[in-house]
Amino acid sequence: METDAFFEFRAYHLTLAVAGCIVILARWFPRLVSLREPEAAPLMILLGALAVLTVPGLPAPPDPRSAPLLWEVVAEITVIVALFAAGMRVDSLGPLRKWGPTLRLLVIGMPLTIAAVALLGVVLGGLTASAALLLAAVLAPTDPVLAADVQIAPPQEGQEHPVRFALTTEAALNDGLAFPFVYLGLIVIAQGLAPGDWGLRWLLEDVIYRISIGAAMGWAGGWLLGQILFNLPHETRLADTGSGVIAIAGVFLCYGSTELVEGYGFIAVAAMGLSLRRIESEHHYHRHLHDFSESIEHALTALLLIALGGLLPALAAGLTWNHVAIAVLLIVVLRPLAGWISLTASALARSDRAVVAVYGVRGIGSIYYLAYATSHADLPHLSDLWIITALTIFLSTVLHGFSVGWSMEKIGR
C-alpha cells in the first residue's frame, strides 16, 4: 500500500491504536508466563504481522523495496541514539587489556563473518557476487538496540563483566565499521569485481579517512559538549538543569557535521558517548542523559519492529528454504564460529567466550544499511536481500531473546 495511506485520518488513527496495543501486549503478556525479564522484540514483530493480516482497514507499512527512505531515516536516528547511549554506558576505559576481546571481534570476527556470509549467499542463495557481498555487509554489525540485555549496566552502576563489556563495545563500534563493506558492495555493483579500478581509493577514502575522521570528530564533539554542559558557565551549568534535549541536539550536531566532512557518523556518535562520559564522570547527569536517550531508542525501536512485522507477510510470498538456511546458518553457525575463532587467544574463560561468540544479535543497523543501499543503487536480487535480512532479524530476536536471561545468569554466577 502506498505511504499516503498512512495520512488518511482513519488509517492513521487505526495505525496508532494498533501500534499502542502491540507495545503494551508485547511488554505485559510475557510477564504472565515467565519469571525472567521478558523479551518483547520478537513479540512486537509477530504481533505486527498478525495485525496486518487480521485487522480490517489497517494499512501495511511502506515496502522498503520500493520506498526505502522512511525506513532509512527512522533506522538511522534509532541507531544514532543507541550508539551514543552504548558509549555512555562505559564507566571506565582502562585497563587497555579489557579491549582485547572487542578488537578481536572487530578485526577478526567481523571480516570472517562477512566472507562466510558472502560465500553462502553465492553458493546457497544463488546471489551474484556483488549482491552477496552487500548482504554480508548489511548483516555484519551486531545491534546496540536489541542487545540491551547483554550489555553493561547504565552509567555509574559498574557491573562491567568482561562478557558484557565485549558485547557492548562491539555493538557500539561495528555499526560504523560495517560501512566500508557496504560501500564496497555498492562499488562492486557499480564497477565490477576488478579492484584495480577502485581498490586503492576505497582503502584510502572509505576505510582510513572516513573511520579516522569519524573517531576524531566524535571524541572532539564529546569533549566540546562536555564543556558546554559542565563548565561553560560553571556557576549555572546546563547539566544541573537535568535537560536531555540539548545533549541529544549535540549528538545530532556531531553526527550531521561528521557526515558533511565525509566521516562515519555512527563511529562519531559512539566515540562521542565514550568521550562525554569521561567529563565529570560522577555527575548524576550522565545517568539521566543515558536514560533519556534510551527512552527515545526504545520508542523508535518499537515502531520499527512493528513495521518489520507488518512487512513480513509481503516478504513471505517470495520466501524459500534457501533464504531460511542462510539466516539460520548465520545465527547458529557462522557468527558463533567466527566469534569463537577470533576470541581463541583472548583472556576470556571458555564459557564466557562461548556467550560472546553466540550473542551477536542482528537488528536495526541491518535495516538501516539495506535501506541506505536500496535508495542509493539499483540492487540485484533486491527482494532476496530484504527477505533474508528481515528473516535474520526475526530469528535473531527469537533465538537470542528467549535464551538471554539464562545465559546472563550463567555469567553472573
Contact 371/393 with Cβ under 8 angstroms?
Answer: no
Residue of 327, 303, 310 lying closest to 389 (CA atoms) = 327
**SS (HEC) of 121-140:** HHHCCCCCHHHHHHHHHHCC
Q: Is the domain 68-412 a CATH 1.20.1530.20 member?
A: yes
Rounded Cα–Cα distance for residues 132 and 118 (Å): 5
Task: Say which residues have a Cβ less than 8 Å from residue 101's Cβ, sequence separation at least 6.
Answer: 162, 165, 166, 343, 346, 347, 348, 356
pTM: 0.90
C-alpha dist (Å) from residue 100 to 38, 154, 346, 403: 31, 22, 7, 26
Q: What is the pLDDT along the chain (413 residues), one digit of tens a residue?
A: 445 555 556 788 899 999 999 999 988 887 777 655 557 888 999 999 999 999 998 998 999 999 999 999 999 999 999 999 888 888 888 788 889 999 999 999 999 999 999 999 999 988 999 999 999 999 998 887 666 666 777 776 766 788 888 888 888 888 889 999 999 999 999 887 777 778 899 999 999 999 999 999 999 999 999 998 888 887 778 877 777 788 889 899 999 999 999 999 999 999 999 999 888 878 888 888 888 888 898 899 999 999 999 999 999 999 999 999 999 999 999 999 999 999 988 888 888 888 888 888 888 999 999 999 999 989 999 999 999 999 999 999 888 777 766 666 666 54
Q: Considering only CA atoms, give the Rg of the chain.
A: 21
Q: Which amino acid is at 89?
A: R
SS3 state of residue 19: helix
Q: Look up residue 79 and give its three cell numbers.
A: 541507531
Task: Say which residues have a Cβ less than 8 Å from residue 245's Cβ, sequence separation at least 6.
Answer: none
Domain limits, the chain: 68-412
